[in-house]
Amino acid sequence: MPEPATSKSTPTPSARPHALLPLLGPAMVAGVAYLDPGNVASNMSAGAEYGYLLVWVVVLGNSMAWLIQYLSAKLGIATGESLPGLLGQRFRTKAGRYAYWIQAELVAMATDVAEVLGGAIALSLLFDLPLLVGGVITGIVSMLLLLLHSRRGSKPFERVITGLVVIIAVGFCAGILFAPVDGGSVVEGLVPRFEDSGSVLLAASILGATVMPHAIYAHSALTRDRFGFVPEGRVRQLVLRATRIDVTVALVIAGTVNVVILLLAAATLQGVAGTDTLEGAHAAIGSALGPIVATMFAVGLLASGLASTSVGAYAGAEIMSGLLHVQIPLVVRRVVTLIPALVILIIGVDPTLALVLSQVVLSFGIPFALVPLVRLTMRRDLLGESVNRWWTTVLAGIAAVLLITLNVTLLVLVATGA
């Protein structure tokens, strides 16, 4: 197998658990995609409208996300290249490459809309800033975080994002300590079922916010940036072991927070008027659990918006670079990708509705990222000893079929007006 041009030296780790700690980090950055404001809006809406009905969707999505993110990380480690970069090398026609780039770019822009809107809403809740001003501030902060990555490298960027993840987890989970969760209903919510077309719509939104296409693209790039090409043998095996731990920790945190958000909404917001928006949910949480919990929720939402929009912009830059072999200055790209979110704020579209719908757009982008990922990671000529085992490919294939089936079902329901 020819070694890719990108070859970054990776320190040789020992087999001791503490020696694996320096290798952790990329999954926590990618995992921020599972804690973005779109997740908050989707899970909050699901809990407020349907109670515990869709708990199973969050759990299923997080379980699939573990496998998917590990495959993406493994691809970067075993090839020294990102998923967009590998796809850019394999398209036979320029038209095909541009068509794929357009859909991937639309998904990245939908992601950015959710993240900027979430940050804007949080700044409005905390400081009573106009949404447009909050959107601009969120974009500027994300730009500064990206500059940190480009100038100081991946590790300082990972540390900042990890700090924001801690704030997100504390901010969103604090309320559950005071919310009267119904344990029996939680267990019932683990049984897969839908109630109506609205629950299917929210399920697609939750999955779009959980198994996120841009996180699939980004994770392979993050491991490439951190490790480069890792040769076959003991070093790669240890890096992959650390990566499995990394992905597990990141997604346990993300999954727990997402379930808690839905349970918090189910326990305190179900049947309460006005909770179909994040502003209304924040007010209802304040009324039910007190202003301190409401403020912590808003702080978590702000950290979510700032961290996730940085990772989303990183993914968008990688998509363009890998597929089109075009490098655009970071500031220019950040300004361009901010425009859709700012337009939504200017024309007065309901931000929470835009957040939920953006997650539905993401769900339709999942197959375009997931199917190529599975196909590439099952190629021995590309991954060598790290090629998928047969059962890994089967599980990943099942996940792809489930996600695609849900999207087709959603299209039918919307088309028939069910």
**What is the CATH number for 148?**
1.20.1740.10
Whether 377 is in a domain gets the answer: yes
**Least confident range of 2-11, 69-78, 281-290, 354-363:** 2-11
Whether 279 is in a domain gets the answer: yes
Whether 1 is in a domain gets the answer: no
- Quote the crossing angle between the two packed helices 94-127 and 213-227, to the nearest 10°: 100
Q: Which domain holds residue 295?
A: 17-416
Contacts of 308 (CB under 8 A, 6+ apart): 32, 33, 35, 36, 37, 111, 114, 115, 118
- pLDDT(5) > 50: no
Q: Band of the pLDDT at 3, cuts 50, 70, 90?
A: very low
- pLDDT(93) > 50: yes
Whether 7 is in a domain gets the answer: no
Number of domains in the chain: 1
Whether 365 is in a domain gets the answer: yes
Q: What is the pLDDT of residues 22-78, one digit of tens each?
A: 777 788 888 888 888 878 878 888 898 999 999 999 999 899 899 999 999 999 999
End-to-end CA distance of the chain: 52
199-226 average pLDDT score: 84
Whether 12 is in a domain gets the answer: no
What is the distance between the alpha carbons of residues 177 and 180, in angstroms, rounded to a whole number? Answer: 8
Confidence (pLDDT) at 209: 66
Report angle CA 235, 238, 244 to the nearest 5 degrees. 140
Whether 86 is in a domain gets the answer: yes
Confidence (pLDDT) at 7: 43
Contacts of 112 (CB under 8 A, 6+ apart): 309, 312, 313, 316, 337, 338, 340, 341
- pLDDT(14) > 60: no
Q: What is the pLDDT of residues 160-179, one digit of tens each?
A: 888 999 999 999 898 888 88
Q: What is the pLDDT of residues 138-164, one digit of tens each?
A: 988 888 888 887 788 778 888 888 899
CB 249 within 8 A of CB 56: no
